[in-house]
Amino acid sequence: MACFLIPAAEAVVTTIMQKAIGKEKTEKIKLKWLNTMLWGGVVLLAIEHIWHGEVVPWPPFLTAMENQADVGPMLHEMATIGSAMAIVITITWVVL
């Protein structure tokens, strides 16, 4: 439903950090790698969600937001699946 929003939020934060800390330090900690992995995953997941009709080009954009009963499961998915994806990507970056 909206699990890609958690890695997207992390990608926004790390992109801002990349711009703020400068190129030399960014290259040292390979922050560009993390951003590439995060943004790549977000784009692929967004395409997959659009393909399956879970994201639409009109408000409220997420089909789970149309029905109040679907908001709870959507938030649960974001907290579990989205967080797990962001953590796995970050751990992979740390290992690299």
Domain ranges for the chain, please list them: 5-95
| Bridge partners, residue 55, by sequence | 62
Which tens digits make up the pLDDT trace of 47-89? 999 999 988 888 888 888 888 888 888 899 999 999 999 999 9
Contact 33, 96 (CB under 8 A): yes
pLDDT range class, residue 14, cuts 50, 70, 90: very high
Nearby residues of 32 by Cβ (< 8 Å), 6 or more positions away = 18, 26
**pTM of the full predicted structure?**
0.87
